[in-house]
Amino acid sequence: MTNLRQLDGSRVIVEMDVAGRRVALAGMAQYDVFQGFDCLRIEVKHRSGAMSIILREDLWEGTLESLPSGEYRVTLAAQES
C-alpha cells in the first residue's frame, strides 16, 4: 500500500469505474484526519458541481502514479458489491 500523505497539496486525477464507464476527476489533495482516520481528501470542482473524494489510508485499493506534469494519478480498483 502506498502512503497517500505524499500527495498532500498536489493536483490529483482520480480514475474509477462508474456505472460501467471509466471516469476521471481532478482536484487538489489535502491529507488530514477525517472522522478519526488518516485520509486524503480531493476537492473536485466539476461542471456538474463541487465534490470531495475521500480515500481512507488504510482501506483504499488501487494504483498511484506520478505524472511528468507533477500531478498524480490514482486509479481505484473496482469493488464488488
pLDDT by residue (tens digit) across 2-57?
689 999 999 999 999 988 899 999 999 999 998 899 999 999 998 888 999 999 99
Residue written as grid cell 460501467: 20
Cβ proximity of 62 and 74 under 8 Å: yes
The yes/no answer on whether domain 4-75 falls in CATH 2.30.30 is yes
First to last CA, the chain: 22
The model's pTM:
0.86
Average pLDDT over residues 55-80: 91
Question: What's the half-sphere exposure (Cβ side, CA atoms, 13 Å) at 52?
Answer: 10
List the domain boundaries for the chain: 4-75
6 vs 55: CA distance, rounded Å: 13
Residue (of 71, 26, 72) closest to 50 by Cα position: 26
